[in-house]
Amino acid sequence: MTRRARVLATLGPASDAPDVMEAVAAAGADGFRLNFSHGTHEQKAAEIAGIRALEEKLGRHFPIMGDLQGPTVRLGDFQPVQVSRGSRVTLARDGGSGIPVPSDEFFRLVEVGDEVTFEGGRIAARVVERSGGTVVVEALVEGTLAPRKTVAIRGKEYDLPSPTEKDMLDLKFIVEQGLEYVALSFVRSREDVRRLREALSELGSDAWVIAKVETIPGVENVDSVAEESDAVLVARGDLGAKFPLEDMPFIQTRIVDAARARGRPVIVATQLLDSMMENPIPTRSEVVDVFTAVRDGADAVLLTGETAAGRHPVESVEWASRIVARAEEGYAPRRMAMDGGTSIYDAFALGVVELAESMGAKIVAYSRSGNTARRIARHRPSVDTYVFTPDARTARKISLIWGVIPAGILGATDLEGLANEVVRRGLAKEGDRLVLVRGVQKDTTDMLRVKVL
């Protein structure tokens, strides 16, 4: 049984050298994330070229996710500052004597007594004074304040437009570079997702949209956010800075279930193997954390700092792959009832899965846009699911989805052609049973065929 949940890796200084990128891919990375909160377009163009070159070399398809910074507040540029518990630090709108927080919205919102968190809560501080364009905070834990790290105020949300001007510049680059996925940070409602989709269609892009759920309203609206998105990401870094940490397991389950009930691929991200930023092996609790994400039925786990800035990017991916493969032995994620209105296409896909499972048949599908693959995979078929696509872009898109095995690139074909292809590629042999499916569209005849080879 091939490993069915995917492992995604964030590229950054620790991993974007070509030889390290290749080692990360060989270690089991199924796709990559580029974080537009950091780095330059030049660096990212080189990373993208490196990934596309790897596809040729390894004969695989790697989806690339462009992760937009979204409406947030990040520290400006300054020399990192060590803080210890109780030490006081000044945050200033424009630097000067303090640490720069280049955001009017932050200073509009922050009040004495607020808990300010940095870098997803890795460092927290209490606001003890404020005057005009500066606030004084007292560190609650020790740590290093570093440039461009996120700044959040626990329990409060910034009222900033989404997507931001920076997002629109990054989006144009992402579309020009032909990335398969665009992730939007700090989604609050379906309207945030809708505005991104409008911007994408104006740019003429069919990239799939990933909603990063990491705000209080984003969790409250998770059902409608999932409905509006192509995929959902549980952004535990900022979630942990907004909610009490003890709520995290409940919030993760809530988001995963909402996405799965709507057949949206769901990605669990951040701090999964956090100690591997420093150490070559994970802790026991991190192994259980990755296991839990798989058992919750996630389509993918996403490594962030571990592969972007950690000391062991390759080992981090190796461990994630090992744990995912072991977690899936003898286990098929529970099937979710379909929420949010089911089209005949969804009902048809469920029928395909049940028919194939009842016969112990392999599913062999042709998916023009990737939607048929998504509709079948949402039911977590216990049989192998091979999907042919018309081009590399769609093959990359479906490579992020649980259980889908990209079988190859084909021009439009009929069901007999699909059967011939799986045999020709050695994916099926004499005696195998096949359920052959073509993308379910209104005008498609000859959509389904059962065949014994």
Ligand X SMILES: Nc1ncnc2c1ncn2[C@@H]1O[C@H](COP(=O)(O)OP(=O)(O)O)[C@@H](O)[C@H]1O
Could you give phi then psi for residue 51, rounded to 5 degrees?
-70, -45
Strands 151-153, 143-145: pairing is: unpaired
Q: Which is nearer to K ion, 71 or 370 (CB)?
A: 71
Name the one residue in this structure whose structure tokens are 């535990």: 236
Please pick, from the candidates 20, 37, 130, 217, the single residue that binds K ion as defined by CB under 5 A.
Answer: 37
Of residues 385 through 444, those in contact with ligand X by CB under 6 A are: none
Please pick, from the candidates 1, 13, 250, 450, the single residue that binds ligand X as defined by CB under 6 A.
Answer: 13
Q: What are the structure tokens assigned to 42, written together?
A: 């030049």
Of residues 236 through 265, those in contact with Mg ion by CB under 5 A are: 237-238
Distances (CA, A) of 69 to 34, 72, 168, 186: 11, 7, 10, 8
Please pick, from the candidates 6, 7, 30, 35, the single residue that binds ligand X as defined by CB under 6 A.
Answer: 35
Q: Which does 309 bind (CB under 5 to 8 A by kind): ligand PEP, Mg ion, ligand X, none?
A: ligand X
HEC sequence for 105-168: HHHHHCCCCCEEEEHHHCEEEEEEEEECCEEEEEECCCEEECCCCEEEECCCCCCCCCCCHHHH
Of residues 136 through 195, those in contact with K ion by CB under 5 A are: 185
Q: Which does 432 bind (CB under 5 to 8 A by kind): ligand X, K ion, ligand PEP, none?
A: none
Of residues 320 through 349, those in contact with ligand X by CB under 6 A are: none
Contacts of 272 by beta carbon, 8 Å cutoff, 6+ apart: 286, 289, 290, 293, 301, 302, 303, 306, 320
Contacts of 268 by beta carbon, 8 Å cutoff, 6+ apart: 234, 236, 252, 256, 293, 296, 298, 300, 301, 302
Choose the binding region for ligand X from 32-40, 158-166, 170-178, 407-415 (rule: CB under 6 A).
Answer: 32-40
Q: Which does 305 bind (CB under 5 to 8 A by kind): ligand X, Mg ion, K ion, none?
A: ligand X
User: Please, are residues 364 and 447 in contact by the beta-carbon 8 Å criterion?
Assistant: no
How near is the Cβ of 210 to Mg ion at its closest, in Å? 12
Q: Which helix (H) or strand (E) holds 345?
A: helix 344-359
Contact between 235 and Mg ion by CB under 5 A: the answer reads yes
Choose the binding region for Mg ion from 137-145, 214-222, 396-404, 406-414 (rule: CB under 5 A).
Answer: 214-222
Q: Which is nearer to K ion, 267 or 377 (CB)?
A: 267
Please pick, from the candidates 17, 20, 22, 37, the single residue that binds ligand PEP as defined by CB under 6 A.
Answer: 37
Please pick, from the candidates 18, 39, 178, 390, the single residue that binds ligand X as defined by CB under 6 A.
Answer: 39
Contact between 122 and ligand X by CB under 6 A: the answer reads no
Q: In what order do the strands lie in the sheet with 134-139?
A: 99-100, 88-92, 134-139, 123-131, 115-118, 151-153
Contact between 304 and ligand X by CB under 6 A: the answer reads yes
Please pick, from the candidates 6, 93, 190, 236, the single residue that binds ligand PEP as defined by CB under 6 A.
Answer: 236
> For ligand PEP, how many residues bind (rule: CB under 6 A)?
15
CA distance 323 to 286: 10
Contact between 192 and Mg ion by CB under 5 A: the answer reads no
CA distance 303 to 323: 13
Q: Which is nearer to Mg ion, 28 or 121 (CB)?
A: 121
Q: Which is nearer to ligand X, 121 or 406 (CB)?
A: 121
CA distance 10 to 29: 10
Residue 127 CB coordination number (10 Å): 18
Binding interface with Mg ion (CB under 5 A): 214, 235, 237-238
Binding interface with ligand PEP (CB under 6 A): 35, 37, 67, 120, 150, 185, 212, 214, 235-238, 269-270, 304
Binding interface with ligand X (CB under 6 A): 10, 12-13, 35, 37-39, 120, 149, 237, 304-305, 308-309
